[in-house]
Structure 1
């Protein structure tokens, strides 16, 4: 039986789940009330840190789902994303608009990555 590892687990959710050569991250958000740019930078830093703890990095991303509170912020978020993402290994990605957990959150990003061999 393959082991399941959970990082920063709580009663409702874990921040990451590692199983079968993959790592799934919970939706990551930045500091409430900050700009889209600052929230996106914080989210991507959280993703980097969680991926490192899981034993992988952004070059191994398979999928990203991005939720914006307002699609009018798409270009601002993409400016940060484009500076961060590994252009040789960009994941499959979807971006949509959704009400987030509180109105102070402007961006939430969920990723799945392969572990390093």
Structure 2
């Protein structure tokens, strides 16, 4: 099976496709001055765009890891947006952890694995 990489640079690929599975690199929003709700909205929109470019969508999520800068301060706000975004009946396996992220302004980052239809 071949491995396809999209949006690749020397360090990483934003999308990797292999054996009917799509892997997304950790995704963040664009406006790092925004609060948790807006950063979550932007991150999920970016994930949708990348999944679409790979030939799948959020109905085919297999696993999501959510990294929060401050789980106590941001878990509820992130989940409020997540719950509205995720269609009923397709919840992926999911883990949410607190992590020191690469930039201090980043409040949330998501890593996604999805199936190709």
Normalised by the length of structure 1, the TM-score is 0.96
Aligned to 1:15: 14
Aligned to 1:73: 74
Structure 1, unaligned runs of 5 or more: none
Residue correspondences, number: 115
Quote the RMSD (CA, aligned, Å): 0.7
SS of corresponding position for 1:95: strand
Aligned to 2:84: 83
Distance, in Å, in 1 between the alignment partners of 2:114 and 2:24 is 8
1:32-111 aligned within 5 A? 32-71=32-71, 72-111=73-112
Distance, in Å, in 1 between the alignment partners of 2:13 and 2:32 is 20
Normalised by the length of structure 2, the TM-score is 0.96
Higher percent of residues as strand: 2
